[in-house]
Amino acid sequence: MNTSESTYLTWPQIARLGLVQASLGSIVVLTTSLLNRVMVVELALPAILPGALVAIHYFIQLIRPRMGFGSDQTRRATPWIRGGILVLACGGVLAAASTILLSSSVVLGIALATVAFLMIGIGVSSSGTALLVLLAKRVEPKKKAAAATCVWLMMIFGFAFTASVSGKFLTPFSFERLLIVSSTVSVIAVAVTFLAIWGMESPVLKAKQSIANVVEAQSEVTPTKANFREAFAEVWKEGRVRSFTWFVFVSMLAYSSQDLILEPFAAVAFGFTPAETTSLSGIQNGGVLLGMLALAFITSKAKSQSLTSLSNWTIGGCLASALAMLGLVLSGPIESVTFFKAAVFLLGIFNGAFSIAAIGSMMQFASIGSAQREGIRMGIWGASQAMAFGLGGIIGTGLSDIARIVLGDPASAYAFVFFLEGVLFVVAAYLSFQTRAQKQTNELSKQLVGV
């Protein structure tokens, strides 16, 4: 019997891991949002500077597979979560300190900010990957979508709560207050994380893992002792891993590319004011929340195999997102604000549903394949997601600028990019289907071998 089956996480334990995700989000939101604004407005620096720093924090997350490998080797996730949150917290404090330094020395400030955002990326890579590995190993299969929803909603809560409370304490604004608030948030995040994972990998569980390792060794399972390159090559040979990696990249690229162009499209196509475009973001995020909650409820309560299959929901969510993107494209020629808002709301619902289904699938697939390589698989997919998010804003805005030059109309340029994003969602649905087909083929092969 699989050891993890007897050590499934309870809902209170899953909620505790959600607090870890909320802690990660609370530090990240200060560095990627608030400091962005301070650099551009208070310090009057070019917007490309915070943009480049945020890109650095994404691209350094290519080290996620190496972090996952470390978790595989130690067979414990909590040390990597603790170490990651400490590095992340230090990076958050240094990022705030760099803004003070930027006011007196741009060169030294940029240097310190670069180091800080590298630390932020490393910390997120370590803690985030290990957290997902822990969830993948110890969440009951039918609860994976609901668990992913719980954890991600806690992250969103961390974003919103930190932004709201920090804003109050930063009034009136000063760089000293910024440093104090950032340090306080980092200390609280570390404390919450350490308390949340306390006893999560108990001595009893570690003993069971040791027994499982012995059993695997006796049954000629692939040994875990290998260097990173060998382990990575071993995992990358798995067709499902490669297909799912491309699915994550393409779907997250489509998901993130519209973030920076949806509000400008509303402004040029329908004359929305800044306040109206802000409310538009609320409509979309409300849809995302509804989609997440609906999928979590259906998959956890449904008894039908087709309703609990995360692959079906992933494929359907991507195709539905493509249709919503087509709705955005058509909203301009139709010239209906109601139609446009409905398309945005539906896009949010379908994005929320497919993203949770994808994360749940990720948690399921991580344990399928060569033994004790969950961390590397999760690291590969996490790195693919980070790369997509890092490129999404750049590609989305860049393509809209090029299309504007070619088409001569800003609204048509944005609509063209929406169309391309819809195509990406269709491609992502195909890649998800391909991954599911490979899983079914492998299961059939095992059955035939058993016969």
What length does the chain have? 451
- Domain ranges within the chain, ordered by starting residue: 3-221, 229-450
Six-digit token pair at 359? 């994360």
Q: How far apart are the first and last CA of the chain?
A: 20
Residue-level pLDDT at 447: 42
Residue-level pLDDT at 202: 66
**Do residues 374 and 323 make contact, with C-beta atoms less than 8 angstroms apart?**
no
CATH superfamily of 3-221: MFS general substrate transporter like domains (1.20.1250.20)
Residue-level pLDDT at 8: 85
Backbone angles phi, psi at 258, to 5 degrees: -85, -10
Residue-level pLDDT at 437: 65
Residue-level pLDDT at 301: 76
Cis (ω within 30 of 0) for the bond into 274?
Answer: no
Place of tokens 């379908």: 350
**Do residues 53 and 28 make contact, with C-beta atoms less than 8 angstroms apart?**
no
What is Dmax (Cα atoms) for the chain?
Answer: 74
What are the residue ranges in the chain where pLDDT is below 50?
Answer: 1-6, 204, 207, 210-212, 214-224, 443-451
Residue-level pLDDT at 209: 53
Q: Which fold has domain 229-450?
A: Growth Hormone; Chain: A; (1.20.1250)
**pTM of the full predicted structure?**
0.83
> Do the two domains 3-221 and 229-450 of this chain adopt the same fold?
yes
**Do residues 144 and 360 make contact, with C-beta atoms less than 8 angstroms apart?**
yes
Residue-level pLDDT at 317: 94
Closest by alpha carbon to 181, among 161, 192, 165?
A: 165
